[in-house]
Amino acid sequence: MEIAYYPGCSLKQSSALYDLQSRRIFSELGVALKEIEDWNCCGATSAGKVDDFLAMAMPARNIGIAEAAGYQEIVIPCSACYSRTLVAQQRLADDARLKAEVNTGFAKKMNGGIKVSSILEVLIARIEAGALKPKLRRKFRRLKPVCYYGCMQTRFPYTVPVPDDVENPQGMETVLGALGVKAIDWNHKTFCCGASAAVNDPETSLNLMGRIMTEAIDRGANCFVATCPMCQLNLDAHQDAFCRRIGIEERLPVFFITEVIGAAMGISPESLQVDRHFIDGTTLLKELDGDER
Amino acid sequence: MTGPGLEFTPESAKPFLQEVMERSGQKLTACYQCRRCAAGCTVGDETGFFTPNILIRNVILGDRETALSNPLVWKCVSCYTCGTRCPNDIQTARITETLKKMAKEAHIDPLQPKVAAFHDSFLESGLRWGRVNEMELMGVYECRNILRDARDGNYDAIIDELKGQARLGMAMFKLKRMHTGFMMAKGRKEIKALYKKAKQRRQAPAGMNP
Ligand code: SF4
Ligand code: SF4
């Protein structure tokens, strides 16, 4: 099975490990990710703040490319890219004039009929098709994760078809459940980490992340699991800073969902590049290595 | 307890409200001040509780000055929590995004200059090459900050900022999370040409639109 794949800028740079892991995990699950040709930046959250036309046109071009290549579905692991693309497709479907206007500029016109999927949707579909079970080698009984969704995976600035509950999503819990891991319930799963505020307004962002960390610790979690590269990088790279501010001694690894799945499949943390985290996650995964199925 | 009297001049309030509603796509007049948005606003603590409902009331009353320059416009993290919960589907993030643009057009200095510098740099970078190169983005963004701080004589701020970025940059480099190659998309030409056309159309006098 082949589906179109939009990595976006961060999966090609600071979160290249997520790109590698996604390709590996999906190939284990029988899905070949086909990176669309000559894709461009989706504009992320900045486009909406600077120019609305670009916020529509940038993702629209990528949709056109995927459609022209004959794909029915495109998977977008980065939450920001996923949100921008899903919103652009819906808004242009609702505004024929704007759609015609952006299409005048594209070699590959966008139609708007492709299914835009988050990484969780595709994972859950493969799990339901029975592709995961035969691949599992380990059971992480002592892994106590809190699932962190952030904003862009669940809430949208425009009415779009959403696959999960907005206030209390369950997609990651479902995937972890299929691995035999029970996630801890908590309140901050969709609370914002500040996203780019970590760069341009650290005061705000560190406060927000401090609140996320405080509850994770209070609930007895021993790691975070995330799907968004921005959330992962923020909670990981700035963890020392926000923990110091509020006097938290503990540190929690921030895993991509693909890392937990990969580890459960028996893939070594090194070959998944878990050693590229700021907060060490390799040790925890190795400690749990004894949990044979 | 008494507060300052609210002033309302419909003639000046209406065009401003209309512009914000049109550009943000949000029906501000539907707001009935239930404050559900206020209860959940992520940055409530950071804005001194200048909450979405207050911003909306300011726009409706035509208080242009406050609406274009207040903590919420610059601290809002576009998390869409308020809009998801609003019984009238009002997305305040779209309003703060619109007010940022209007403030820029009116040459009002942003309360959080780094926020403005970041988003401008990001979009420029994405547009220039078709993809955002993180190293270039951070370079352009920091240049903007340095120029501004130098103009204002904030030399300590420049040093602090560079120290912080250098520390993070080194850590990222060690962990191989810094990408040194350069990315481009050929299709950037298509988007640039479209953007130019759209801009010209917007600037054309009314009646000239096709
Ligand atoms: S939740 Fe909606 S209707 Fe209620 S105060 Fe906020 S913006 Fe107004
Ligand atoms: S979108 Fe902005 S205004 Fe609304 S809850 Fe989030 S931070 Fe507050």
Least confident of A60-69, A70-79, B199-208: B199-208
Are A145 and A281 contained in the same domain? Answer: yes
Per-residue confidence (pLDDT) for residue A17, from 0 to 100: 93
The per-residue pLDDT for range B24-68, each reduced to its tens digit, is: 999 999 999 999 999 999 999 999 989 999 999 999 999 999 999
Are A111 and A148 contained in the same domain? Answer: no
Among candidates A41, A104, A195 on the partner chain, residue whose Cβ is nearest the Cβ of B131: A41
Per-residue pLDDT band at B69 (split at 50, 70, 90) = very high
Ligand 2: centre distance to CA B64 (Å): 20
**For strand A115-117 and strand A73-75, is the pairing parallel, antiparallel, or unpaired?**
parallel
Per-residue pLDDT band at B207 (split at 50, 70, 90) = very low
Per-residue confidence (pLDDT) for residue A289, from 0 to 100: 66
Are A49 and A113 contained in the same domain? Answer: yes
Per-residue pLDDT band at B208 (split at 50, 70, 90) = very low
Q: Is the pLDDT of residue B206 over 60?
A: no
Are A149 and A273 contained in the same domain? Answer: yes
Angle at A118 between CA A113 and CA A122, to 5 degrees: 90
| Cβ–Cβ under 8 Å, residues A145 and A260 | yes
* Token output for B156: 């300590």
Pick the more confident residue, A225 or B199.
A225
* The domain boundary residue, chosen from A73, A95, A120: A120
Per-residue confidence (pLDDT) for residue B209, from 0 to 100: 37
Are A113 and A195 contained in the same domain? Answer: no
* A204 contact B CB<8A: yes
**Ligand 1 pocket: which residues have CB below 6 Å?**
B 31-37, 52-53, 56, 86-88, 90
Per-residue confidence (pLDDT) for residue A99, from 0 to 100: 94
Q: Kindly report the average pLDDT of chain A as a whole number.
A: 92
DSSP summary character for residue A69:
T
Is B93 close to ligand 2, i.e. is its CB under 6 Å away? yes
* CATH number of the CATH domain containing A49: 1.20.1050.140
The per-residue pLDDT for range B149-191, each reduced to its tens digit, is: 878 888 888 788 777 777 887 788 778 877 777 888 888 888 8
The residue contributing the CA closest to ligand 2 atom 5 is B41
Per-residue confidence (pLDDT) for residue B167, from 0 to 100: 80
Are A156 and A267 contained in the same domain? Answer: yes
Report if residue A293 sits inside a domain: no
**For strand A73-75 and strand A2-5, is the pairing parallel, antiparallel, or unpaired?**
parallel
Q: Average pLDDT, stretch A239-245?
A: 95
Q: Is the pLDDT of residue B2 over 70?
A: no
Q: Average pLDDT, stretch B89-97?
A: 95
Query: What region, left, alpha or beta, does residue B166 occupy, with left being phi > 0 and alpha being psi -120 to 50 degrees?
Result: alpha
* The domain boundary residue, chosen from A87, A120, A153: A120
Are A166 and A260 contained in the same domain? Answer: yes
| Cβ–Cβ under 8 Å, residues A34 and A3 | yes
Q: Which atom of ligand 2 is nearest to the CA of A151?
A: 6
Burial call A6-16: b when 16+ CB within 10 Å, e when fewer: bbbbbbbbbbb
The per-residue pLDDT for range A206-236, each reduced to its tens digit, is: 999 999 999 999 999 999 999 999 999 999 9
Report if residue A249 sits inside a domain: yes
Is B84 close to ligand 2, i.e. is its CB under 6 Å away? no
Q: Average pLDDT, stretch B98-124?
A: 85
Per-residue confidence (pLDDT) for residue A54, from 0 to 100: 87
Residues 269-288 of A with CB under 8 A from B: 273, 275-278
| Cβ–Cβ under 8 Å, residues B127 and A54 | yes
Q: Do A237 and B172 touch (CB under 8 A)?
A: yes
The per-residue pLDDT for range A168-211, each reduced to its tens digit, is: 999 999 999 999 999 999 999 999 999 888 888 989 999 999 99
Per-residue confidence (pLDDT) for residue A130, from 0 to 100: 96
Per-residue pLDDT band at B106 (split at 50, 70, 90) = very high
Distance from CA of A44 to the nearest CA of B (A): 9
Are A85 and A161 contained in the same domain? Answer: no
The per-residue pLDDT for range B117-157, each reduced to its tens digit, is: 778 877 777 778 787 778 777 877 877 887 888 788 888 88
* The domain boundary residue, chosen from A57, A88, A120: A120
Pick the more confident residue, B75 or B210.
B75
Distance from CA of B160 to the nearest CA of A (A): 13
The domain total for chain A is 2
What is the value of ipTM here, to two decimals? Answer: 0.87
Report if residue A130 sits inside a domain: no
Per-residue confidence (pLDDT) for residue B28, from 0 to 100: 97
A254: containing domain:
137-287
Per-residue confidence (pLDDT) for residue B159, from 0 to 100: 80
* CATH number of the CATH domain containing A146: 3.40.50.11810
Are A44 and A145 contained in the same domain? Answer: no
Per-residue pLDDT band at B3 (split at 50, 70, 90) = low
The per-residue pLDDT for range A101-121, each reduced to its tens digit, is: 999 988 899 998 899 999 999
For residue A229, what is the nearest residue in chain B, using CA coordinates? B177
Distance from CA of A155 to the nearest CA of B (A): 6
Report if residue A244 sits inside a domain: yes
* Token output for B24: 């943000």
Per-residue confidence (pLDDT) for residue B204, from 0 to 100: 62
Q: Is the four-CA dihedral A210, A215, A218, A223 of positive or negative sign? A: negative
Per-residue confidence (pLDDT) for residue A195, from 0 to 100: 87
- Indicate the pTM of the whole model: 0.90
Report if residue A129 sits inside a domain: no
